[in-house]
């Protein structure tokens, strides 16, 4: 059975809600999954997983909680691992930096040599809105599709 880790950074719970939906999609797709808040994650957490999934909201750049982890990733080799990224954002209020954290994390994963298995999932909702059922379902389906393609 493949093993995945989902690491998220979230301020008001939106990226966290998506992370939970992604985790439930992996379970449905037969992937063993661990979910962690980036505030408690370490770079070497990634070593024992086949699939590394990072999820973050954007707050004027990379989510603060991801900064330390992001810096530590710089020296990490993820060659041979698969990876994917997701996150919520707000294109109406932040058209120029919509889901910027997602792009930043995807770039770092590529630099580490990870194989990106799918296009990043960016969920667009106006600021202050919680993730609705449609958003959660989209995140779950995204993960089921990743699991089935492993
Ligand atoms: C101060 C501030 C800055 C933000 N900057 C961006 C941004 O640059 N790009 C973007 O897409 N969304 C931006 N957002 C919107 C949040 O990313 C969005 O509301 C998200 O759903 C919050 O998710 P979270 O609860 O997981 O932190 C910003 C929101 C705030 C309050």
* Domains of the chain: residue spans and CATH: 3-149 (3.40.50.360)
Ligand 1 atom 19: the closest Cα is on which residue? 127
Residue linked to tokens 């040599």: 113
Specify the pLDDT at position 47.
87
Residue 86 alpha carbon to ligand 1 centre in Å: 13
User: What is the distance of C-alpha 95 from the center of its chain?
Assistant: 21
Q: For 38-68, how does the pLDDT look when each residue is reduced to its tens digit (9 = 90+)?
A: 999 987 788 899 999 999 999 999 989 999 9
Helix (H) or strand (E) holding 122: strand 121-124
* Single pTM value for the model: 0.97
Residue linked to tokens 């998220």: 8
Residue 99 alpha carbon to ligand 1 centre in Å: 8
């Amino acid at each position: 059975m493949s093993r995945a880790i989902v690491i998220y950074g979230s301020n008001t719970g939106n990226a966290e809600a998506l992370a939970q939906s992604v985790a439930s999609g992996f379970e449905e797709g037969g992937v063993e999954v661990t979910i962690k808040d980036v505030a408690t994650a370490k770079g070497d957490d990634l070593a024992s997983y086949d699939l590394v999934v990072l999820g973050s909201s954007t707050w004027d750049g990379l989510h603060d909680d991801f900064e330390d982890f992001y810096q530590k990733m710089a020296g990490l080799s993820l060659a041979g691992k698969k990876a994917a990224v997701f996150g919520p954002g707000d294109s109406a209020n932040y058209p120029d930096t919509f889901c910027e954290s997602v792009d930043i994390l995807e770039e770092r994963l590529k630099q580490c040599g990870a194989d990106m298995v799918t296009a990043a999932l960016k969920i667009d909702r106006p600021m202050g809105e919680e993730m609705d059922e449609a958003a959660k379902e989209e995140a779950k389906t995204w993960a089921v599709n990743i699991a089935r393609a492993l």
